[in-house]
Amino acid sequence: MSTLAATPKSSSAATLPSQRNMRMTQLDLIVTPIFFVILAILLAVVWIYSDFDRTTTSILEPSGLWTQFKQQIYLALWSTALVIVIAIPLGILVTREGAPRFKNNLVSVLGLGQAIPAYGLIVLFFVAFGQGSFTVILALATFALLPVLRNTIVGLEQVDQSVIEAGKGMGLTSIQRLRKIELPLAVPVIMGGIRTATVINVGMATLAYLIGGGGLGETIAAGLKNGRPTAIFVGAVLVALIALALDFLGGLAQRYLRPKGLA
């Protein structure tokens, strides 16, 4: 009787974290669009009803602003793609048997790298590789590697060993177990790291203008230099809108790439 009573209790306790994570993801998918709409309305109101002087009009010239907007998205997406290509295979590699020391050292090194201020990191890459968007993408990817790597490791290591052993019992090879069991179960955690990296990259891409990489940092910097708060507000809100939109898309992926039946 005591064994039967303990089993449901243990199962219920085990499902609490995943249920909590699911609720948080659902909340994100509601709250993020609300903030997006509020910011978009504020931006529209400021754009329509503010009196732009000649300097502000020059800074906020629509074609230039649109170019910077596209550059901001370009830098954020390509740097995040580079992070995914590097961090997920690395995370898989260091979670295989025989690599715990390498895993700890790698996470420590990347943690030190992320401790470098973003401005300093971009300058270091500028010295090494010169100016341009390619240099910015490399710098952003380096800065944002740790969240995806760490979440890949955590996601793979939290997969129930009994499920993996069941796969072995079915005759699955290590590659098949990784592809059919471990990665699908780790997807929600990995996607959480990717969302974090994406938001980091969107924010850091505002510094791309320092080394000729473009982006909305040009508008923000021009507003600061000329004392035009309207220009600063427009540039900052556009960056925030990009971050919210990409985070929302990541939240959708985190929810719908989750294996069916996983709470």
pLDDT at 7: 36
Name, of 122-126, 226-230, 255-259, the range with top average pLDDT: 226-230
Convert the pLDDT of each residue in 173-188 to its tens digit: 778 888 888 888 899 8
Convert the pLDDT of each residue in 92-119 to its tens digit: 888 877 666 666 677 777 776 677 787 8
Q: Give the pLDDT band of residue 262 (cuts 50, 70, 90).
A: low
Q: Which amino acid is at 199?
A: V
Is the separation of the CB atoms in 243 and 250 below 8 Å? Answer: no
Higher pLDDT, 161 or 2: 161
Give Cα separations from 100 to 112, 145, 246 (angstroms). Answer: 19, 19, 33
pLDDT at 79: 95
Alpha-carbon distance of 215 to 66, in angstroms, equals: 10
Higher pLDDT, 76 or 27: 76
203 φ, ψ (degrees, to nearest 5)? -65, -45
pLDDT at 225: 94
Query: Looking up tokens 């910097």, which residue turns up?
Result: 221
Q: Is the pLDDT of residue 21 over 60?
A: no
Q: Is the pLDDT of residue 24 over 60?
A: yes
Q: Which domains does the chain have, with CATH numbers?
A: 18-256 (1.10.3720.10)
Q: Is the pLDDT of residue 1 over 50?
A: no
In 3D space, the residue among 138, 133, 137, 139 whose CA is nearest the CA of residue 117 turns out to be 139
Convert the pLDDT of each residue in 189-241 to its tens digit: 999 999 999 999 999 999 999 998 999 999 999 999 999 999 999 999 999 99
Number of helices (H) and strands (E), helices first, in the chain?
11, 0
Alpha-carbon distance of 251 to 240, in angstroms, equals: 16
Q: What percent of the chain clears pLDDT 70, i.e. is strictly above it?
A: 84
